[in-house]
Amino acid sequence: MRVMVFVKATDDIEKGMPPTPEALEAFAAMDEFTEELVNAGVFIAAAGLKPSVEGKRIAFDGGSRTVIDGPFAETRELIAGFSIWEVKDMDEAMAWAKRCPPPPGKGEIEIRPFFEVADLGDFITPEELSTPRDGERGKLGVA
């Protein structure tokens, strides 16, 4: 099963987190942890996100769209980074997440399973379920 691991933003992260000794230690610890994930065959991808001041949102209301410039007010609802892991089940994902080094100060991680193709069997056609050939993407964007 694939899971997305969200690292929630903090006020410090939203301020741009200068390279303090604590921040540099946190980055080094995260690099070591990521290496463990890679060596275990769990790691698929990861990235940190810039503060929301550099982001935008699009709000939908029926057919209209409104662009909202960052920064966004609710820091606790923002994502500072993500990882994608391949694990056997949610228990394994939780075991890895509990080993994740903490950011400086308080922090929070959210883990959410992906919808896999098999989960969508009642919503898509057999053709859409077919496996794409090497280098191609299926209709669902799954390679």
Q: Evaluate whether residue 87 is within a structural domain.
A: yes
d(CA 114, CA 31): 24
Total number of domains constituting the chain: 1
Residue 7, in any domain of the structure: yes
**Domain carrying residue 107:** 2-129
Q: What is the pLDDT of residues 36-61, one digit of tens each?
A: 999 999 999 999 899 989 999 999 99
- Assigned domain for 10 exists: yes
Residue 89 is part of a domain; what is its CATH number? 3.30.70.1060
What is the C-alpha separation between 111 and 92, in angstroms, rounded? Answer: 11
The answer to whether position 29 is within a domain reads yes
- Lowest mean pLDDT, pick from 3-7, 44-48, 74-78, 119-123: 119-123
Bond into 71 cis (ω within 30): yes
Q: Would residue 85 count as lying in a domain?
A: yes
Q: Is residue 134 part of a domain?
A: no
